[in-house]
Structures are given as structure tokens and as C-alpha cells.
Chain A
Amino acid sequence: MAWNHKSRVVAMAVAIQVVAGVFTAPVAADIVPVSPPTNTEDAITTEDPTSTGSVHTAPRIYLGKTASISATAALRGPGGAAPFVANAWPLGRVLQAAGFAEVHNAAAIAGALQAGSTTTALKLAAAAPATDDIYIGFPIQQSTIGAGAIKGTSLIQDYDGTSKLATIAETMSGAPAAAAAYTIPPCVVYQLGTLSVSPPLLSVRIWRDKKRYDYRDVRVSQITFDMPVSNEQNQVFPSIEFSLKGLVEAVADDVAPALTAAQLTTIAPFRNGKFTLDKVALGHQSTRFQMGSDVAGASNAAALAGQDGYEIMSTTRTLDMDINQMAVTDFNIETRVDNQTEISQMSLWGGAAGNRWGFLAPSVVLNPLNNPGDRNGFVNLSGNSAFVAVDKSATLALWWD
């Protein structure tokens, strides 16, 4: 007998489940590196009102159980020389299950700008896509933006398929000239869709030392991109927190697999990067994009559980920010709040290829953010913003050049 199961010895693997109700077994290659998760069983019960002939109530009626899982995955890119193939990045499967479309650009798209760029928009080549918004959240590199793999990159917040104008989420010092080169690097971009069509289901395995818990029909009930700046006062790193809801498939004795070095890639701290609000570079400490989902299953007497698989019924999206107080002449928050001006928020950071990150909320309106507080002795402003865009309302990019 082994009762000495160790709580630090944990692994979690995620697979896309093809058929509702049928577990798709994840393997060691499907591991998502996470800090020790929580996985709990939630009993479904109802009160039994039958009198017991005494003052004591009858035991509740047991109707079954569901499961809840939550975990935090540090944002560590897969690295390598080129983007991974479709569905190959396990954490990306969680993003897909939350409603994100994973769009792959396998090879760099190099082009020459047409005449007509501005300080906030690049007029891409005539051969650029004819479809609006297709590039939202995509990284783009142009010498006027800056130098280097992060500083020389910006994110596209709007794309006009007719004029080929790609509006970026920052301000350049001048309008780039016609014929100047630009590049959309090899990348994978996650674009949050409308969730009008049910996203993929997940099958999840959690090993706790010598025991394994399997879950199927798993839906994402909450996902958070936590993007704090890493510094002396804030010794933290970017991560994705997620909560899941599903059904218990099995609990069995099985030894936890050790993670490989390829799975434990370097975590890129958020520094030497960019933070912009309405295309203005500002000092800040953190941003948190959160999406909470209500999940439920439709009643169905023919189903084993009396209900169909879980569906995402509604979501709530928020973007919390903790920014440094700045002069009115540097950034006029009041005017933007009063006018409820649609603005973008971009965060960029990273390290080596395949570990470079860009978050974009292309269209939000500020809730009052002029609430001064104290952060390590400096005046900060904390608050949040409301999402205006419905489709492609939040994106996460990962690029390789």
C-alpha cells in the first residue's frame, strides 16, 4: 500500500475531445505545465423530505456528481524555430475551448508598403487579404515602429480589407514611406470569437503522484490572462489561470509522468516590452483580462447524466488595469471616459523566438480610472474597462521572428 502520495508531484494533460461523452485519453506529450491544480468532485443532491419518524431528517438523495478543475499555467512559449502545427500546443487547446480561434501563419509575410500610411496605420501591399479584421491581433514589424524582436513589433488592432490599412496599437514618430518594407512574422494568433458555435470539448488528466483523475466533456468556465510587470517590487510573471467544469471519467492508480525539458521552457518576464492604452505608451504594473462563462447542460432524459454536455451560455469580459498616474497632458483619461471613446490596449513582452507574447484588446471603453492609490510609494490608478467589440475582442499572439 502506498499512502505517501506527495502533493508536489502533479502533472496535468489536456486533449481535444472529439465526441461528446467519449473520453479522449491525453498522453504525456499533452501535458500543460501548471502549478499544482485543484480538482474537486461536486455532488449533485436533493433533500429527501420523507419523515424518519424522528426529529432527524432523512439523508439527502444522491443524484450524481460533476467535477471542477482550476489551474495556473505560466506563460512559457513552446520555442523552436517555427510555429507549431495545428492543435499541437496543449495550452492552446485550453484557449480554443474558451472560444479562441488559433490562426497559424507558418512563414513570414514580407511586403512593401503602399503610399498612404499614417502615424498609426500601415498601408499594406495590394496583395494583402481582402477581408476586414482578418489581421486583428497579428504582430507586424516595420522599421518606423522600433528596433528588435519586441520593440520593433506592434499588434494590428484593425484591418481594412479594401484600403489594406492596418491600424496598429501604438503611435509611430512619422508615417512610413511608400515602398518601405514590413513583415508579418511567423506566428500563431488566438482570436476570441463570438462563441456562437460551441468550442471544442476537452478531456483532462490530472496525476497526483501515484493516482490519476480523468475528466471528460470539460468546458472552460473562466480564463484569465494575468500580465504583471516583473521587477524588484513585483517578483511575478505572466500566466494564464483557468477553471474547468466537466464529468468524472475515471480515477485510477497511475504514476505521474515527469515533465521534459522541452515542456519546461523558459518563462519570459514582462519587461523590456510595451504597454499602450489608446496607442499611448504608459507606465503600468499589471493588466488582467478575464472572461467568466456560465456553463450548463440541457435537460435530456435519454442522456446518462440526465443532461447533454455542457455548453457555454454567456460570458463576462473585463480588463483590469493598474497604471501609473500620469500628467493630463501626457494622457487625458477624463476626456476618454466622458466621451466613452473606444480605445485599444496592447501588451508586448518576451524572450527568444517562440516565446514572444502580445495581448490586445482592440476595442474597450474605460470605466472611471482616475482613482488614485498607492503602489510602492508611487501614485497609481486602478480600474477596469468594458469590451465593445463582439468578435475578435481579445487576442493573444506568439511569434517566431
Chain B
Amino acid sequence: MSGTNIKVNSVLPARTATEASRAAPISLPAGSYDLDDLSKAAKDASQAKNDEERGELHQRIVDDLNQTVLPTNSLGVGPGYKRVDVLDERLDVTESRVVFDPDNRDAAEQAQADYVAPIDPAAVKAAADAPTPKGE
């Protein structure tokens, strides 16, 4: 072993709660991002007034800077349908409901055309029960 002695894993300087909050990490959803854009936007977020505002800025960073399109339609919305906010006047509540999207009829029709329905059961049974001539 070498005679050189060095120290490793020195304790990093402590920082205040405010400093730690300003430097809060950003969790990136899967996708593609540009580091330069991320750094600039994150620097702006670090100057936010409070954690709540910083959280909103972080969410905006993630939403705006992701260059990969994350899948739509994955929350119960199939091709040709959309989510709309609906006020139920009887209950006085607003709900997000899935409704048919007439502007997207082509997608709905294509999905139905692509649907592989179960085959006609009678046809299967008829074929199975048909007598086969001897020797064939």
C-alpha cells in the first residue's frame, strides 16, 4: 500500500432549511429534456417565494420541457372519446366525464373496425358437428 494518507467522504457543509428548500430536486418523469433549459428553469424556480410556488414552477418545468409525448387516452379514454368537466346541477358537483367526441369520429370508427369480435358460435359448432365422410 502507498504511504499517502488522504481523507475521503468529508462531511458536506451544513445548509439552512431555506437554502435546502431553494435547491429542492426536481423529479423528472420519463421523457426527453434539454439540460440547459432544465438548469435555467430550475434556477428561476429556486428564486420562488415559497415552497408552494416552487412546486408549481417545478410542475410547469416538467410539463413544458418534456420533449417526449406521454401517452394520452390512458385514463379510461378510448379513441374517439374525450374528458369534459360536467356540472351536475342536482348534486351541485363538477365531475370529469368521458363523452363521445364528434370531432374525433374517425378514430372511433377505426377502433370499432379494428375490434376483433368473438366469432359466431353457431358457425363453430356447426363445423365441429358436421359428419366427415369416411376416408377423408
The chain A residues found within 8 Å of chain B, CB to CB, are 16-22, 62, 64, 86-87, 96-106, 118-121, 129-134, 160-163, 165, 167, 171, 173-174, 191, 193-201, 279, 298, 300, 302-304, 308-309, 311, 329, 391-392
Contact = CB atoms under 8 A, between A and B. Distances in A.
Nearest to B69: A18
Interface of B: 1, 4, 6-10, 12-13, 15, 19-20, 22-36, 38-39, 42-43, 45-46, 67-76, 78-79, 81, 98, 107, 111, 114-116, 118
Contacts of A87: 32, 67-68
Nearest to A92: B32
B12 to A, nearest CB: 6
Nearest to A158: B12
Contacts of B20: 132, 162
A106 B45 CA distance: 22
A304 B111 contact: yes
Which of B27, B35, B43, B78 gathers the greatest number of chain A CB atoms within 10 Å?
A: B35
Contact of B32 (A102, A133, A309): A102
B11 to A, nearest CB: 10
A106 B13 CA distance: 31
- In terms of DSSP, what is the predominant structure of the interface of chain A? loop
A7 to B, nearest CB: 28
B31 A102 contact: yes
A17 B114 CA distance: 17
B27 A18 contact: no
B24 A131 contact: yes
Contacts of B6: 119, 171, 173-174
Nearest to B44: A130
A19 B34 contact: no
27 contacts: A16-B68, A18-B69, A20-B73, A21-B78, A86-B32, A86-B67, A96-B32, A97-B30, A100-B30, A101-B28, A103-B32, A103-B34, A106-B35, A119-B6, A129-B42, A130-B43, A130-B46, A131-B46, A133-B25, A161-B23, A165-B13, A173-B6, A200-B30, A201-B74, A302-B76, A304-B78, A308-B75
A163 B12 contact: yes
A21 B73 contact: yes
B74 A309 contact: yes
Given A103-B35, A329-B1, A19 B27 contact: no
Given A131-B46, A173-B4, A200-B30, A17 B39 contact: no
Contacts of A132: 20, 23-25
Contacts of A18: 69, 71-72
B10 A118 contact: yes
Nearest to A62: B118
A131 B8 contact: no
A312 to B, nearest CB: 10
Contacts of B36: 105-106
A174 B10 CA distance: 13
B58 to A, nearest CB: 9
Contacts of A193: 27-30
Contacts of A17: 71
A195 B28 CA distance: 9
B43 A134 contact: no
Given A104-B33, A200-B31, A298-B76, A391 B25 contact: yes
B32 A99 contact: no
Query: Which among B32, B71, B115, B116 has the greatest number of chain A C-beta atoms within 10 A?
Result: B32
A160 B69 contact: no
- Most central of B19, B28, B36 by chain A CB within 10 Å: B28
A62 B118 CA distance: 8
A129 B69 contact: no
Contact of A20 (B7, B33, B71): B71
Contact of A162 (B15, B34, B115): B15
A19 B42 contact: no
A199 B70 contact: yes
Contacts of A96: 30-32, 68
Contact of B115 (A199, A279, A300, A304): A304
